[in-house]
Amino acid sequence: MAATARSLIIGPSTGPETPYPLQMEGKCIPTANLPVDDNLTPAGVYFGWASHPNHPETHYGFSIYPMVMSIGNNPYYNNTVRSAEAHLLHDFGADFYGVEMRLLITGFIREEKNYAHVEALIEDINVDCDVARKSLDREAWALRETGTGTLDGSWLLRETPEQNRLTNTSSPRMTETQTVTRIG
């Protein structure tokens, strides 16, 4: 079955519109699933930015990645529990289990669907990733903190209480002059 043609860019060139951006954070369970508030968003596929404090690929501060995420029950897999599954648009050498992650949701791509075949699901996921990359690759959608945009992503970079406790006792604090790594 051929996929329906979809726009590869979401949202106006001026940046996210209300109710976006939305903020989400929590410790990851396998495949970067986060706890989800049932009242936060309707089921569907979203896009935006993710940050990782203290990911093994960084030494100081945070890394920021473009991301797509599915919020819902993932009907193809017959899941009964609603979840938020983030897919960071970067190849990692480690998993995310137990890692604190923050997400800045900047827009909605499409509603959640069920699929007859896994191939159709994979095709839609690939298009969703392209939509996210192209939509975020505009000045008003790119983060100011990466030096490429105007969108405020400062929330993604604030220290967590645990980091604050650790940096006060064992290492120098991140300063405004330290850079943020944007990967993707």
Q: Is residue 16 part of a domain?
A: no
Q: Is residue 182 part of a domain?
A: no
pTM (2 decimals)?
0.76
Residue pair 65/49 in contact by the 8 Å Cβ criterion: yes
Compute the average pLDDT of residues 14-25.
Answer: 89
Q: Is residue 155 part of a domain?
A: yes
Percent share of the chain, pLDDT over 70: 71
Strands 181-182 and 62-72: parallel
Compute the average pLDDT of residues 135-163.
Answer: 87
pLDDT at 25: 80
Active-site residue identified among 17, 25, 57, 85: 85
| 3-class DSSP state of 93 | coil
Q: Is residue 66 part of a domain?
A: yes
Q: Structural domain tally of the chain?
A: 1
Q: Is residue 153 part of a domain?
A: yes
Q: What is the CATH number of the domain that holds 141?
A: 2.40.30.30
Q: Is residue 9 part of a domain?
A: no
Rg (Cα) of the chain, in Å, rounded? 17
Residue pair 25/143 in contact by the 8 Å Cβ criterion: no
Told to judge if 145 belongs to the known catalytic residues of this protein, a careful annotator would answer no
Compute the average pLDDT of residues 49-53.
Answer: 84
Can you name the residues that pair with 84 across neighbouring β-strands? 34, 71
Compute the average pLDDT of residues 51-56.
Answer: 66
Q: Is residue 180 part of a domain?
A: no
Residue 76, number of CB atoms within 10 A of its CB: 15
Q: Is residue 127 part of a domain?
A: yes
| Domain range enclosing 152 | 22-171
pLDDT at 162: 58
